[in-house]
Amino acid sequence: MCGIVGFTGRREASPVLLEGLRRLEYRGYDSAGLITGTGNELHLRKKAGRLAELTKAVAAHPAPGCYGISHTRWATHGGATDRNAHPHLDGTNTIAVVHNGVIENFAPLKHQLRSAGVQFRSDTDTEVLAHLIGHYYVGDLVAAVRQALTLVKGTYGIAVMSRAEPGLIVGARLGSPLVLGVGDGGTFLASDANALAGYADKVVYLSDRQLCVLNGDDWELRAQDLSPVTASVHDIAHFLADGDAEKGEFPHFMLKEIYEQPETLANAMRGRLDDADSTAHFGGLNLSPQQLRQIDRVILTACGTSYHAGLVGEYLFEELARMPVEVEYASEFRYRNPPMDRGTVVLAVTQSGETADTLAALRESKRMGHTTLAICNTVGSTIAREADGGVYLHAGPEIGVASTKAFTSQVAVMTMLAVYFGRTRHLSSIQGQRIIEELRALPDVVRRTLGCHDHVKRVAAKYADARNVLYLGRQYLYPAALEGALKLKEISYIHAEGYPAAEMKHGPIALVDESTPSVFLVPRGNVFDKVMSNMQEIKARGGPVIAIASEGDAEVAAVADDVIPIPDVPEYLQPIVVAIPLQLLAYEIALLCGCDVDKPRNLAKSVTVE
């Protein structure tokens, strides 16, 4: 949520900043801005709207200088206007600040500053920070930043510069990610390492309450009291391949990421399926078999699509590992005080590893002394670093705001985890081996499933003008229905509801009419007949039915108006296979509605505020 890029070195800063922002635009895209410095002059450019507006503004009025900071915004305080775009300046136009996060006590601070005669130029919480730093500034930017931050409550990832100290950039974080990069002709600062691929060779992740100081090739890390901190430096090439953040031949990142799934699923499983012991194994769980055996309850906590993956996880852990599982929205869990005994493990599921609520839930669980684990895609992210152990998805960067490949990989990882836990309990080696073989076949099955794209296109053309769509499934496919509905509403703005198919008659069936299609998830399995009855209930009320069903299923075809065929897999793998047509359906309908699929309105890829 919001992107920050900073650079100081021996080349023009603005092209580096604009390219970095381009790679981070999926983090926030309602306005963007940059500021550079030459001598003791600052050059500020900022624009509401997409990054293209800022790029045009910079082309028309270049911002010269070899150091600068920049920002792409997802508005929290104040509308998306030129005025509210970052960077923000203090009253003397000396200090410039870009900020991710929320200054929660901005109102009393603003009041105090106003009483002291400060005039505000924006409605943002960030501007308060610029004035505070300006207030404490007597020629030492690092000291002024430190002092200002002692007054602030909330979360921040910031980059700050002063026209009186050319070349210097100060960064600081509390709750919003910040990474320092060292490389090609200078040093960099970014809210996400993706912005630095191809520029920096090495990166250093800031921890909460740390500051960093950059000047040309020099950089240092400091604690809150400004004492030096020894940094652990990581090689960026380990986790970012060139071209990962490019669309290639695809018109959208979302479509590219949908089509990557055979590969990303294979990556999630690579080296983890163990034929010798008929189980899965993981390098980073940091649990001995004894500790594993002592776990008697799992709490899965997550937000958004990752929450839906967690709901599938509940069915998987119950069935394959016979373990009690609860799934909690992280935003609720962090403020509850549920009784949890010693054998409870808290497992955070997160693509980005930066979601503020999920991080807070993880920290709260840690504070209470529970073992915390994470299923995470982003290497080096805050949650990945703070959890006691975890499993990476290895799905590569997910840029489309609507999560696709991360979801299927999360479910695949949870399937492997359930096998791993199950094999220390009741699951026999024959059962374990069968699941391993079925998992191994999955990437090819998903490749075949992508063949449904033409069917999906035809269905999308028929229903793109619907204003309400229902998604219905049972058991493993109930969370899949929730996820299908979420995909559609996120990117097409069509109202969609996911529901357990049999629960329809307790309320939502009242919505059914000729203009409200229902997407039924009805591949063959234990509850097939039950779902068919639910489908008949909808048909009887005149509702059009789109069925996602097993290839060649004549029984479904006889009832449904449209059928999207998928290959048969065991029930516990159906949420992954069914996800493919659901993602494609949302994508195709959103295109027909003329929506910006990769940058849907009001949303951001990574939500680092509460």
Catalytic residues, which ones?
2, 605
Rounded-to-integer distance, Cα 369 and Cα 103, Å:
29
Pick the closer one to ligand G6P by CB: 57 or 375: 375
The residue within the footprint of ligand G6P, chosen from 84, 352, 404, 492 (CB under 6 A), is 352
Q: Is 100 in the site for ligand G6P (CB under 6 A)?
A: no
Determine the angle formed by the axes of helices 304-316 and 405-423, rounding to 10 degrees. Answer: 30
Q: How far apart are the first and last CA of the chain?
A: 11
Does 372 help bind ligand G6P (rule: CB under 6 A)? no
Q: Applying CB under 6 A, which part among 95-103, 162-170, 302-310, 320-328 lies near ligand G6P?
A: 302-310
Q: Distance between CA atoms of 45 and 62, rounded to whole angstroms?
A: 9
The DSSP-derived string for 459-527 is: HHHHHTT-SEEEEEE-TTHHHHHHHHHHHHHHHH--EEEEEEGGGGGGTGGGG-STT--EEEE--SSTT
**Closest to ligand G6P by CB, 37 or 390:** 390
Q: Does 409 bind ligand G6P (CB under 6 A)?
A: no
Q: Are 22 and 11 in contact (CB under 8 A)?
A: no
Residue closer to ligand G6P by CB (options 145, 485) is 485
Single out the segment in contact with ligand G6P by CB under 6 A; choices: 180-188, 262-270, 351-359, 511-519: 351-359
Smallest distance from the beta carbon of 498 to ligand G6P, in angstroms?
14
Q: Does 305 bind ligand G6P (CB under 6 A)?
A: yes
- Told to check if 382 binds ligand G6P by CB under 6 A, we report no
Q: How far is the CB of 174 from ligand G6P (least distance, A)?
A: 19
List, in order, residues 6 or more apart from 271 with CB less than 8 Å away.
none
584 near ligand G6P, judged by CB under 6 A: no
H or E stretch at 309: helix 304-316
Stretch of residues binding ligand G6P (CB under 6 A), selected from 21-29, 251-259, 301-309, 517-525 = 301-309
Q: Closer CB to ligand G6P, residue 305 or residue 550?
A: 305
Which residue lies nearer to ligand G6P by CB, 27 or 474? 27
Least Å distance between CB 243 and ligand G6P?
22
Q: Which one among 401, 412, 469, 509 touches ligand G6P, defined by CB under 6 A? A: 401
For ligand G6P, which residue of 156, 606, 608, 609 counts as binding (CB under 6 A)? 606
- CA-closest candidate to residue 65, choices 19, 14, 20, 21: 14
- CA torsion sign, 204 to 104 to 127 to 163? negative
- The C-alpha angle 239, 242, 72, rounded to 5 degrees, equals 85
Nearer to ligand G6P, 63 or 387 (CB): 387
Distance CA 374, CA 285 (A): 9
304 touches ligand G6P (CB under 6 A): yes
583 binds ligand G6P (CB under 6 A): no
Question: Cβ 540 to ligand G6P, closest distance in Å?
Answer: 36
The smaller minimum CB distance to ligand G6P, of residues 36 and 583, is found at 583
Check residue 184 and give left, alpha or beta (phi > 0: left; psi -120 to 50: alpha): beta
Binding of ligand G6P at residue 603 (CB under 6 A)?
A: yes
Interface residue with ligand G6P, options 84, 126, 306, 492 (CB under 6 A) = 306
Cβ count near 518 (within 10 Å): 31
Q: Does residue 147 sit in helix, strand or coil?
A: helix
Does residue 590 touch ligand G6P according to CB under 6 A?
no
Q: Which of 286, 289, 263, 287 is nearest to 277 (CA)?
A: 289
Q: For residues 550 and 569, what is the distance between their CA atoms, to the nearest angstrom?
A: 9
Closest CA to 372 of 295, 293, 309: 295
Q: Residue 316 and residue 491: Cα distance in Å, rounded?
A: 28
Q: 273 or 373: whose CB is closer to ligand G6P?
A: 373
Q: Is 76 in the site for ligand G6P (CB under 6 A)?
A: no
Pick the binder of ligand G6P from 95, 346, 607, 609 (CB under 6 A): 607
User: Among the candidate windows 16-24, 282-290, 298-306, 437-445, which touches ligand G6P by CB under 6 A?
Assistant: 298-306
Q: Minimum distance from CB of 375 to ligand G6P (Å)?
A: 9
Nearest-CA neighbor of 172 among 127, 200, 133, 216? Answer: 133
- State yes or no: residue 358 binds ligand G6P (CB under 6 A): yes
CA 55 from chain centre, in angstroms, equals 26
The β-bridge partners of 473 are 500
Burial pattern 206-215, b for ≥16 Cβ within 10 A else e, equals bebebbbbbb
Count of residues of this chain found to bind ligand G6P when the rule CB under 6 A is applied = 15
Of 383, 386, 405, 387, whose CA–CA distance to 396 is shortest?
A: 405
Q: Are 508 and 538 in contact (CB under 8 A)?
A: no
Cβ closer to ligand G6P: 215 or 355?
355
Regarding 399 and contact with ligand G6P (CB under 6 A), the answer is no
Residue 365 touching ligand G6P (CB under 6 A): no
Stretch that binds ligand G6P, among 42-50, 72-80, 297-305, 338-346 (CB under 6 A): 297-305
Q: What is the DSSP secondary structure assignment for residue 230, as one 8-state letter?
A: P
With respect to ligand G6P, which residue has the nearer C-beta, 128 or 265? 265
Residue nearest to ligand G6P (CB): 304
Could you say which of 403, 408, 449, 516 contacts ligand G6P (CB under 6 A)? 403
Are 486 and 304 contacting, i.e. CB atoms less than 8 angstroms apart? yes
| Angle, in degrees to the nearest 10, between helices 477-492 and 574-592 | 20
> Which residue stretch of 167-175, 226-234, 344-352, 586-594 sits at the interface with ligand G6P (rule: CB under 6 A)?
344-352
Indicate whether 350 belongs to the interface with ligand G6P (CB under 6 A). Answer: yes
Q: Of the candidates 351, 408, 550, 583, which one interacts with ligand G6P according to CB under 6 A?
A: 351
Residues near ligand G6P (CB under 6 A) are 303-306, 350-352, 355, 358, 401, 403, 603, 605-607
